Structure 1
């Protein structure tokens, strides 16, 4: 398997074609009885030697210079052993192929040695060729140079394409990292807010407990205890709300945006042609889900609003186990959705949800699914 490492199917096909040409030309030389064409040898051995000149092409990706040297050595043996015969029919295609492959080599020194060796191989093919002759050598060398130049252009274009693809991937990764950093920053601020809330509410509860202990009237005591209970429940509810926001990764302290605020959001950012539709059975969802749904829509319509003529359709569907959000808007040059989609997708991922994007007929359609845990 080590001998075949790095060989691609296209390499095998190319080598098979060149070996086939060499075999065919060798057989024609052996069987030739044309008195107008000089054939010094009719030995069948020239067929395997022709094949030996083309077979090294199979490994051109690993050893470009070595392949051309092996092919040139085999061609020199053919010239010395069999004298004047027809070689251009398979030798020139081999030389042109190797000149082109030389231009695909990555290192400059390797390319220079390989293309020079291709020129030497071309001279060996024509030096004792009885069909084309050495007179054709200048033209053949020019063709080798042209093919080498074409290969260099293709290699440069391929390198630019790979570099552009890598840059796009880096930008996409940086966009995702930025969204994640924003979420982390929000969580840190919420943690500080939670600590502040706990200190404030615990102090209030302690003072209320001290005040109620000094009251002797039963009715006043019951009223104080009722107030203490309500304050405790309100503190617990606030804590649950902030913990829910920490799980959802968004910060908004007063008031917390929710699905109910989407209508005002569209009115603030978009033209009157935009529409909000709500289907299913609307109900209160966990604060983190409501907040993430609001932010997903906010990210997207903020991007769509860059087109002043944009008409955006937002559909929110309350399902039994998930909240589905559909946002459709223009996908023209004035609207760049990449960053907004990256931030919205990060929101969906925080809830183990998904977000997909489809563009057709000048409209971008974004669909987000946020799972809703029941019984929590």
Structure 2
């Protein structure tokens, strides 16, 4: 099994941006002082959150091959980070990650049942992200994040429908082809 099969250059760019955001947020949590302007005080300054956050962001790289698996891996890692680190800032990388994954569900999930599973996974990912998020103070940010994810999903559906329509159109007019 080739783990880089079907990965396109822009997939690497997207993954690099998400990993950079995750690393930045992790480093900011580690270096935050007691006087940090947050809704809730940080419970942890452990440097271990940096690789954990990076590991949570990295599955976006495989969005074309298995978006449901990517959502599941990110969800499990973020869920494990809640008891491990407590109140820390996660929203700065995990919400943009959920938006990108919502778009990918619309583009690459296939059957409608997979879309439903993916969207439930996106909401679960956002819930786990925000349940102990120091910057937002908790779940109130879901009123912002869920509609934004819905917009990204809608954009993905629009693009996917356009792509499917273009593929279905004939490329040559048979009546005009001469031998």
TM-score, normalization: structure 1? 0.45
Match of 1:62 in 2: 65
1:22 maps to 2:25:
no
What is the Cα deviation at residue 75 of structure 1?
Answer: 0.5
2:127 to 105, 111, 123: 123
Number of residues of Structure 1 aligned to a counterpart in Structure 2:
174
Q: Distance in 2 between matches of 1:150 and 1:58?
A: 19
Segments of structure 2 that go 5 or more residues without pairing to the other structure are none
Per-residue CA distance 1:17-41 (angstroms, 9 max, x = gap)? 1000000110010000042431110
1:298-345 C-alpha deviation (Å, 9 max, x unpaired) = xxxxxxxxxxxxxxxxxxxxxxxxxxxxxxxxxxxxxxxxx3xx33xx
SS in 1 for 2:107: coil
1:289 equivalent in structure 2: none
Counterpart secondary structure, 1:103: helix
The Cα of 1:102 is off from its aligned counterpart by 0.7
Higher relative contact order (CA 8 A, sep 6+): 2
Please say if residues 103 and 115 of structure 1, whose CA atoms lie closer than 8 Å, have aligned partners that are also in contact.
no
- Residue 117 of structure 1 deviates from its aligned partner by 0.2
Q: Quick check: 1:135 aligned with 2:126?
A: no
What are the residue-to-residue correspondences of 1:1-376 with 2, within 5 Å? 2-35=2-35, 36-37=37-38, 38-105=41-108, 106-132=110-136, 133-164=138-169, 167-169=170-172, 171-172=173-174, 175=175, 339=176, 342-343=177-178, 346=179
From the CA coordinates, give the structure whose radius of gyration is larger. Answer: 1
Cα deviation code 1:260-296 (max 9, x no counterpart): xxxxxxxxxxxxxxxxxxxxxxxxxxxxxxxxxxxxx
Q: Report how far residue 162 of structure 1 moved.
A: 1.3
- Find the aligned partners of 2:42 and 2:155 in 1 and give their Cα distance: 36
Point out where structure 1 has 5 or more consecutive residues left out of the alignment: 176-338, 347-376
Q: Which runs of 4+ in 1 moved over 3 A?
A: none
Between the aligned partners of 2:25 and 2:100, the Cα distance in structure 1 is 17
SS of the residue 1:62 aligns to: helix
- What do residues 78-113 of structure 1 show as CA deviations (whole Å, max 9, x unaligned)? 111000011111111111111111111222111111
Tell me if structure 2 keeps the 8 A contact 1:104–1:151.
Answer: yes
Q: Distance in 2 between matches of 1:117 and 1:32?
A: 30
Flag the structure with higher strand content: 1
| C-alpha distance in structure 1 between counterparts of 2:64 and 2:114, whole Å | 12
**What TM-score do you get using the length of structure 2 for normalisation?**
0.92
- Which structure: greater helix fraction? 2
